[in-house]
Amino acid sequence: MTETTHQDTGRTGLGGASGLFAIRLATGLVQGLALYLLYLAADSHAWPATQPALFGALALATGYGPVVVLAAAGRIKPLALALWTGAAAVVLALLGAHDVARQVLAPHDEPPFLSLPVLAFGAAALFIAHHLIVPAIRERRWIVDYSEYFDVAWKAGVQLALSLGFTGAFWVLLHLGAALFKMIGLSFLQDILGEAWFSIPVTVLIFATAVQLTDVRDGLIRGVRTVALMLLSWLLLVITVLVGGFLAALPFTGLDGLWETRSATALVLSAAAALIVLINTAYQDGRPDNVPPVVLKYGVRVASVLIAPLVILALWGLGLRIGQHGLTPDRIIAAACALVGAVYGAGYLLAAAKPGGWMKPLERTNVVAAVLSVLVILALFSPLADPARMSVKDQIARLERGAVSARDFDYDFLRFESGKVGAAALETLTRSSDAETARLARAAKARTYRSGDTPKARRDRAAAVRLQAVAGQTIPASFQTQIESQADVLFGCSVASPCTVRTLDLNGDGREDLLVAMARTVLAFEQRGDDGQWRKVGQYQAACSRNAEALDGGLSTGVTTAPAALPDLIVGGQKLQATPEIRCDDPDGR
């Protein structure tokens, strides 16, 4: 049975297209009113904004829950729709309440108090779960045909994109109209657009209307989806060549550069996710009449093989970081994403290698990975596998067993980034039997903002600095040993863009100074005092924009000094330095 048949059946039970539109319109109105009431409570600091956990629960459930009605109305029977909407709203409310309850809220924190991860992953979990549950309800089976999952999910994705675009275009037009009225001295429309009582309900109502408009044009949506899938499927060849070239080059370049980026896990997982999405745009629902051209078929097989090594690289890099620095919430979330990626990698590798039934195992892999994704998200944003709790436990264990010294321990992580569980652990450390641990913990507890100047942070910044001497010269060993103290000014000297270093006597005192060239700036250092410490004494920048490129490359070929255009003045005992006027149309730059 096709989706159109299901929709027709559902709409008949709801009074046809007019009844469906009334339901969606009413849903938009109710959601808009509820969100506006929450806004009023937050603005006036009234209940439920005075109860942060409750407010977070209501905000997440009200923001996302009604979308279930908009998406499922007309597709499943009213009783099933009510039960599924209620279940989704309860789960969303619990996630929102837990997210806020685990935080240590500062006096200046404003509702809805929800963190960005729970908003992003909550939306992802709801989208995935909805398109697993609705087909199952319609077919009255736990697992339905893969073509049904594909049809429902990709159509909903197109509808969502079009509805968001329609809502955005609506607001662009409103602001354009307000600007026109403003030009003739009428500001009433601009004033209305700035009012929450208008903007919140109207935005939700327009979105609900857009969902209805895209839903009644089923053939149009399918046509847009077909074109989008066709265009995206050909991009698969591009990313396959790029990823294949990257993996082929690794044996020759080594992995050190990859790990030094400090974002290797995120990058390779993003590449794997791109491959997964584009593979599915080519495979589509797996029906014989949807088999892509031969070149795309081979592209799908090659791309499916590439996912596994990317996930292995991600797990490897993540394992190194965790081994060196322990768990953090970001690393735990990355590990969860890598776990889902491993399922995709194994399943797609099997699909590519298995003969007969072109890529058929891909279908089961997608369903299993979708279910796993929902379960993992629910675990991460609930007490079951709270990343903050797990991270704090691991970091404290590292401190206790001596894997990290009291001096290098990140107390600010407990104070500012791990919520109530971190605050409780920090309070315990203030009573530690180790005097240094207790002292540093008390200092962190007293801070009102995170300090970025911890010894570990300084070493991390220094480790990221990359310098290269010009031909025939070497970087003084004394400067190399002091890079940690200079890391803040050498932040532009990275693996991707090493800075060029040249020794030169700048002031004629017979001692070598250092010039460190970035792409657009040259820093000057000299040794001062009896301690032989290198200190930054100035910087040079190109006077005209046309000369502001590749200073690091220019320093490698040579450098000379030029006399100052204007001398310093002594006025009333004060030394005044001139700032020359620059005429960039002068060929000499003077």
Residue 287 and residue 208 in one domain: no
Question: Residue 544: is its pLDDT beyond 70?
Answer: no
169 in a domain, yes or no? yes
Among 185, 216, 247, the domain boundary falls at: 216
Instruction: Give the pLDDT score at 543.
Output: 67
Cα–Cα distance measured from residue 339 to residue 375, given in angstroms and rounded to the nearest whole number: 12
Cα 104 from Cα 522, distance rounded (Å): 44
* Residue 202 in this model has a pLDDT that exceeds 50: yes
Tokens found for residue 541: 């920048």
| pLDDT band for position 453 (cuts 50, 70, 90) | low
Q: Kindly tell me the sign of the dihedral angle through the C-alpha atoms of 291, 295, 296, 297.
A: positive
Domain boundary among 187, 216, 245: 216
Return the amino acid letter for 342.
A
d(CA 527, CA 507): 12
- Average predicted confidence (pLDDT) for the chain: 88
User: For residue 458, is it within any domain?
Assistant: no
Can you give the pLDDT at residue 585?
Answer: 62
State residue 449's pLDDT score: 75
- Domain count along the chain: 4
Flag whether 588 is in a domain. no
Instruction: Look at 204 and 498; give whichever has higher pLDDT.
Output: 204
CB contact at 8 A, 504 and 559: yes
Which of 385, 417, 441 finishes a domain? 385
Residues 411 and 380 placed together within one structural domain of the fold:
no
Nearest alpha carbon to residue 283 among 192, 193, 377, 149: 149
Let me know whether 166 and 207 are in one domain.
yes
Confidence of residue 545 (pLDDT cuts 50, 70, 90): low
Tokens of 68: 């279930």
pLDDT score recorded for residue 5: 40
Q: Predicted confidence band at 484 (pLDDT cuts at 50, 70, 90)?
A: confident
Say if 530 falls within a structural domain.
Answer: yes
Statement: residue 460 has pLDDT above 90: no
Weakest mean pLDDT among 96-100, 294-298, 320-324, 489-493: 489-493
Do 178 and 63 lie in one domain? The reply is yes
* Cβ contact 80:37 at 8 Å: no
Residues 69 and 133 in one domain: yes
Query: Does residue 489 sit in the same domain as residue 509?
Result: yes
- What confidence tier does 9 reach under pLDDT thresholds 50, 70, 90? very low
Q: Kindly tell me if the per-residue pLDDT of 25 is higher than 70.
A: yes
Q: Residue 6 above 50 pLDDT? A: no
Q: Which band of pLDDT confidence, cut at 50, 70 and 90, is reported for residue 269? A: very high
Q: Look up tokens 């953090």; give the residue.
A: 328
DSSP class of 199: H
Burial class (CB in 10 A: 0-12, 13-18, 19+), 448: exposed
- Counting beta carbons within 10 angstroms of the beta carbon of residue 411, is it exposed (0 to 12), middle (13 to 18) or buried (19 or more)? buried
430 and 550 share one domain: no
Question: Which of 146-155, 165-174, 225-234, 468-477 is the least confident region?
Answer: 468-477
- Structure confidence at residue 550 (pLDDT): 65
57 & 183 share domain: yes
Structure tokens at 342: 């491993």
**Does residue 481 form part of some domain?**
yes
**What is the mean predicted confidence (pLDDT) over 61-73?**
96
Q: What is the mean pLDDT of residues 535-555?
A: 71
pLDDT at 59 over 50: yes
Phi-psi map region of 366: left, alpha, beta (phi>0 left; psi -120 to 50 alpha): alpha
**Tokens 């199952």 appear where?**
136
Residues 198 and 112 in one domain: yes
Domain membership of residue 564 (yes or no) is no
Q: Hey, how many other C-beta atoms are within 10 angstroms of the C-beta on 361?
A: 18
Q: What is the pLDDT of residues 376-420, one digit of tens each?
A: 999 999 999 999 999 999 999 999 999 999 988 999 999 999 999
- Asked if residues 512 and 504 have their Cβ atoms less than 8 Å apart, the reply is yes
For 576, the enclosing helix (H) or strand (E) is: strand 574-576
Q: Does the pLDDT of residue 295 top 60, yes or no?
A: yes
| Lowest pLDDT segment from 238-252, 286-300, 357-371 | 286-300
Tell me, what's the pLDDT at 512?
A: 86
**Strand boundaries in 427-573, DSSP class E:** 467-469, 499-504, 513-517, 521-528, 533-541, 569-571
Q: What length is written for the chain?
A: 590
Q: In whole angstroms, give the CA distance from residue 477 to residue 131.
A: 62
First to last CA, the chain: 79
Q: What is the pLDDT of residue 348?
A: 97
pLDDT at position 527 over 70? yes
The order of strands in the sheet holding 513-517 is 467-469, 499-504, 513-517, 521-528, 533-541
Cα–Cα distance between 374 and 585 in angstroms, integer? 62
Pairing of strands 569-571, 574-576: antiparallel
Cα–Cα distance between 107 and 105 in angstroms, integer? 7
Tokens of 117: 């991860």
Asked if residue 355 and residue 296 are part of one domain, the reply reads yes
Q: Is residue 577 part of a domain?
A: no
439 within a domain of the structure (yes/no): yes
Residue 532 has pLDDT above 90, yes or no: no
- Give the integer Cα–Cα distance in Å for 299 and 390: 40
Q: Can you tell me whether residue 2 is helix, strand or coil? A: coil
Statement: residue 431 has pLDDT above 90: yes
For residue 366, pLDDT beyond 80: yes
Q: Are residues 133 and 110 in the same domain?
A: yes
- For 77-123, the DSSP string reads -HHHHHHHHHHHHHHHHHHHHHHHHTS---TT--TT---HHHHHHHH
Percent of the chain at pLDDT above 70?
92
pLDDT digits (tens, 9 = 90+) for 339-352: 999 999 999 999 99
For 492, the domain range is 467-559
Instruction: Report CA-CA distances (Å) from 3 to 84, 155, 291.
Output: 19, 10, 21
- For residue 378 the two structure tokens come to 């629910």
- Position 374 scores a pLDDT of 98
Task: Examine the domain organization and report whether 357 and 401 are in the same domain.
Answer: no
* pLDDT score of 15 more than 60: no
Beta carbons within 8 Å of 425's beta carbon, 6+ residues apart: 392, 396, 414, 418
